[in-house]
Structure 1
Amino acid sequence: METTFEQLEVAITGKIGVITLNNPSKHHALSTALIDEMCAALEEMLYRQVRVVILRAPAGSKVFSAGHDVRELPTNGRDPLTYDDPVRRVIRMIELFPAPVIAMVEGTVWGGACELVMSCDLIVAGDDSTFAVTPAKLGMPYNISGVQNFLNTGGMPLCKEMLFTAQPMGVQRLVDQGIVSHAVPRAELESLTRRMAEQIANNSPLVISLLKEELRLLSASHNLGPETFERVQAMRRLVYDSKDYQEGIKAFFEKRAPQFQGE
């Protein structure tokens, strides 16, 4: 099984696979094309029976990923962040992938890329990395499963601060909250990540796979009732039909601060 990639670099050495985002002209934005390739890369890793996957940006990157590709968001009020949204697809794939996925983060992480990183099993980051969840800046409601992922990972106070302020947060805060495993100088980042990957790859892949699935099921054991889910979905539809949503998208393309009116 061999796939050609245009926006990724994919390498497998022994039982360790590495997926490197490679679209610097768009700051590795999570476009449909890039995510389709990421899903294909994970399929190839599955076929090759890798025991650990490392997800990274190129060495020395100032931006790990700019998050959702805003150019692909609809302007007609249609909710883009549905079950079949590309980011949702790749996050489900990472969560269900039988081997651990390690995010090796250099630079800034924006918007949906924060959730992508936090959906990985382990996060190792450069000590100058920052994370920003920015839907409030765009006037765009984040979907309920995405918010739940942030909440499960970061806890309520941190989740609220990141979502409400939409400001970059230094990686040390995420280390203190137990979200990021290690924050180290960039010069040490790759060696630490490789060492962790090798330690995992040397353990029983069946046990690791079982443990990953057990942890996933236990963390998702509190479900929303259908009435609550529908109420939240109705609120999200109102936002997508709003003038503020249109203003957020328009301001992004015009490279200016949005003027939200709350309508």
Structure 2
Amino acid sequence: MSFVNCEVKDTIAIVTINRPEALNALNSQVLDDLEAAFDSIDTNVVRAVVLTGAGDKSFVAGADIGEMSTLSKAEGEAFGKKGNDIFRKIEQFPLPVIAAINGFALGGGCEISMSCDIRICSENAMFGQPEVGLGITPGFGGTQRLARLIGAGMAKQLIYTARNIKADEAYRIGLVNAVYPQEELLAAAEKMASQIAANAPIAVRACKKAINDGLQTDIDNALVIEEKLFGSCFESEDQREGMANFLRKKDDPAKVKVVAFKNA
């Protein structure tokens, strides 16, 4: 039995963490299943991914405390590395990944959402890094990604106090991009994914790589990364057709069409 489902709708993959009886908490099997789900996605067909949790109470309530409670120091490090490796795979996945956060996103749940490109949430969502209240630190990237996303001062406050925040505050501090009623969340995520999928896939992938890689270096090196990726787009059929369609508009607006980008 897999705790992670992957459904493909046209050019969108919907990955659902499906352990609602445990509020979708992450144990070793869930992490393995999550990695397998992303490995199964055909990136030649799929153009955007939505990651969500089963049910309407929890996106991911955190790592499985029952499993963690008996770990030794070495086992704790290994478990942290396992989660970090998989979350890093999501972060570096060539396609955009949208987190549709439908409830609790605590500990590992907040951390996995931060490995996604875009985060949107339901009105009942709750975010936090409560690990210090359990005698541990965040272990799946929380100390690093939270500080990068909302600033070191705010991240330190949330981590040190173990305070949970609601959806409206998460939006205010820039942790999520938008907040929706629970019943509209998944449709909103799929709509956003469809908007992304309608654009030139090679260009979208290049933008993700430029942003992610550029953030890991200084501005001068980051601009070189962008220049090279920008140049690489001019070898694509999508670039030629996209620009040709734009130029047709100048000659005869009636000739303009919706470009069906070929990922080539």
Q: TM-score, normalised by structure 2?
A: 0.76
Q: C-alpha deviations, 1:43-81, integer Å up to 9, x for none?
A: 11145631111011124x212212111233244333624
Name the residue aligned to 2:256.
none
* Partner AA of 2:120 in structure 1: V
Instruction: Tell me the equivalent position of 1:72.
Output: 67
CA distance, structure 2, for counterparts of residue 117 and residue 110 of structure 1:
10
**2:143 aligned to which of 141, 147, 150:** 147
Greater Cα radius of gyration, structure 1 or 2: 2
Name which of 175, 180, 190 aligns with 2:176. 180
Q: Percent identity?
A: 27
CA distance in 2, matches of 1:84, 1:109: 18
TM-score (normalised: structure 1):
0.76
Q: Size of the alignment, in residue pairs?
A: 217
* TM-aligned CA distance change 1:160 to 1:195, over 3 Å: same
Amino acid at match of 2:83: V
**Retained in 1: the 8 A contact 2:3–2:30?**
yes
Task: Specify the alignment match of 1:130 in structure 2.
Answer: 126
Greater RCO between the two (CA within 8 Å, min separation 6)? 1
Once superposed, what is the RMSD of the aligned Cα atoms? 2.0
Q: Deviations 1:122-180 (Å, cap 9, x if unpaired)? A: 11101221101011011112359541111111212320121011121012122112221
Displacement after TM superposition at 1:14 (Å): 0.8
Q: Distance in 1 between matches of 2:79 and 2:60?
A: 22
Q: Within 1, Cα distance between the matches of 2:33 and 2:206?
A: 27
Residues 1:145 and 1:34: Cα distance change in structure 2 (over 3 Å)? closer
Question: Following superposition, which runs of at least 4 residues in structure 1 exceed 4 angstroms of deviation?
Answer: none
Q: Which runs of 5+ in 2 are unaligned?
A: 219-264
SS in 1 for 2:99: strand
Equivalents in 2 of 1:39, 1:63: separation in Å?
Answer: 20
Alpha-carbon contact 1:134-1:167 (below 8 Å) kept: yes
| 1:35 and 2:28 aligned | no
Query: Per-residue displacement from partner, 1:185-228 (whole Å, max 9, x unpaired)?
Result: 11221221111010000011111111111111122227xxxxxx
Counting only pairs closer than 5 Å after superposition, residues 53-202 of structure 1 correspond to structure 2 as 53-59=49-55, 61-73=56-68, 74-78=70-74, 80-82=76-78, 85-143=81-139, 145-202=141-198
Note if contact 2:62-2:109 (Cα within 8 Å) is conserved in structure 1.
yes
